[in-house]
Amino acid sequence: MNKTNTWWKDEIFYQIYPASFKDSNNDGVGDIRGIIEELPKIHALGITTIWISPVYKSPMVDNGYDISDYQAINPQFGTMEDLDELIEKAKQLNIKIIMDLVINHTSNLHPWFQSAIKDPNSPYRDFYIFKDGKDGLPPNNWRSNFGDGSSWSLVPGEKNLYYHHVFSPQQPDLNWENKNMRFTIYKMINWWLKKGIAGFRIDAITFIKKDQDFASITPDGSDGLGKVKRKSENIPGIEKFLTELNENTFKPANAVTVGEASGVDYSQLDDFIGNDGYFSMIFDFHYADIDVKSGSEWYRQTDWTVKELQDGINLSQLSIQKYGWGANFLENHDQPRSINKFIKDPNYRNNIGAKALATLFFFLRGCPFIFQGQELGVQNIERNSIEEFNDISSKQNYHRALGEGFSPKQALKYVNDRSRDNARIPYPWNNQVNDGFNQGHQTWLALGKHAKEINWENENSDEDSILNFYRKMIKIRQLPQLRNELINGDFSTISTDSSNIVSYQRGKNIQVYVNLSSEVVDVNLPQHKILLNNYSTNESHKLQPYQAILIEVKNNG
């Protein structure tokens, strides 16, 4: 798209995971009416765009990312009329809605796939990827991206015919080589845009192109398999599909698009987010996954340093700035809670640590994305057995770790640290029954074990809460005298003498300093005015443990 109308640069995004946000009818699962009920609170936070994780019809094997009907609503979330009402009521509050778009795969219960496996002559047979096996084994040795087992499954009732799935067997991949399939998808996308949504977050979009040789690869695990992403993530030729997708859907509607674009090298950013790029912005996972060597192999943990995080942020910001716009995040539905991941000292996994991380990420160049509960300081929950997990990738990562020789105790720790269930626990609204998520029905996923002050009701009335800190940050970003610097100002690096400080500059006069350690550190600051501080006091030229400050530099050039 020729990005002359970049309205989305001003937006502050809030991601809602509907099953865990608010259960309005007390059936244990959050729903669309629950979102409608809480719109005023989202508005009061200062949010301008809500990203809703999938609410389409789905058997929920992967919590809605396995879609069985793109143009119907899962009854557990409500009705299409509910969604229309949400779009309209959000609009009245000047809040836009973007949907999650899952077009790498469907559910295995989608009528297209059911037709494809039942009838070799079905027009939908070529909507998916089918291959014959070899010597009684799958067509090649590609491993599922969820970490355990082949990315091929035998077609029910067949002896040697397999279908491909980057993710779970219940998520068969669409065949993007088929033009008819592609334009059927485009028609569906345009149907949604005409409903009045502002755009999409596009799921797993860099997986849509597979290497057409479908050759086996050198194994990278004891199971004799190799990561499927080596043959299906950001493969040459994907540019044809992404250009065509944009030209036929997003561009004519001036829609905002946020790509989940793993595997994209910084040298390719112009293609993805440049003036004629495929998307408005993309999520960069390079430093988001600093705690593991591979986002699909949680047992490969790292002992990362603050300097490595600073270097990762600098490289990401400067690379994106060169070509386009960024989508900055600490958390989402696929990540553990940031306070557990980035705050190494458990003593600061509290109000101070949460505000330090908030300051660090919120003022980076690009749109801030806040995941539900992040604004409260919600933390991971420790589970005692693999049976307590709902997330399909958690279960697969656990068994993969066992297969790689780790003990059950070690494997469980890795999954507890990284499980997507950490993000998906029901939202704590108050200290009443079921944290105010509903009126007492057993919740679809176990509640978190929050400190009693970690809930919306308590934090709303506490001036010093994490929630009110987020409100302050959002207001600061919109101040007329700071808005241009904080939204449009260039990102530039700042060097300090401490390896425990993350720091950067926005525009000419705004600087951020965050001490990510439990030690007091010396820092040489220019003459300044403090705009935001997660401590009630400030000692000149020193930062307290996990102290974060936003300053306006005086007479800086």
User: Which residues are catalytically annotated?
Assistant: 203, 260
Measured CA to CA, the distance from residue 15 to residue 51 in angstroms comes to 5
508: left (phi > 0), else alpha (psi -120 to 50), else beta? alpha
HSE at residue 213, side-chain half, CA atoms within 13 A, is 7
91's tokens: 């609009």
366's tokens: 């690009």
Measured CA to CA, the distance from residue 339 to residue 415 in angstroms comes to 16
236's tokens: 């040459």
Task: For residue 290, give the nearest of 302, 277, 278, 282 by alpha carbon.
Answer: 302
Contact 259, 233 (CB under 8 A): no
Task: For residue 44, give the nearest of 531, 483, 472, 476 by alpha carbon.
Answer: 472
Angle at the Cα of 221 (from 220 to 222), degrees rounded to 5?
140
461 CB-near residues (< 8 Å, 6+ apart): none
212's tokens: 């057409």
Q: Are strands 528-533 and 548-553 parallel, antiparallel or unpaired?
A: antiparallel
Task: For residue 258, give the nearest of 306, 318, 197 by alpha carbon.
Answer: 197
Between the alpha carbon of residue 277 and those of residues 116, 220, 258, 269, 369, the distances in Å are 34, 34, 12, 8, 21
Measured CA to CA, the distance from residue 94 to residue 73 in angstroms comes to 24
Q: Taking the CA atoms of the chain, what radius of gyration do you get in angstroms?
A: 23
**Side chain identity, residue 551:** I
For the chain, the maximum distance between any two Cα atoms, rounded to a whole number of angstroms, is: 75
Q: What is the 8-class DSSP label of residue 56?
A: E
Cβ neighbours, 10 Å, residue 331:
24
Contact 60, 485 (CB under 8 A): no
Q: Is 69 in a helix, a strand, or coil?
A: strand
Burial class of 274 by CB neighbour count within 10 A (0 to 12, 13 to 18, 19+):
middle
Measured CA to CA, the distance from residue 292 to residue 335 in angstroms comes to 12
Angle at the Cα of 8 (from 5 to 14), degrees rounded to 5?
170
Measured CA to CA, the distance from residue 91 to residue 95 in angstroms comes to 5
HSE at residue 196, side-chain half, CA atoms within 13 A, is 13
Sign of CA dihedral 465, 471, 473, 476: negative
136's tokens: 């009684």
Q: Are strands 13-16 and 367-371 parallel, antiparallel or unpaired?
A: parallel
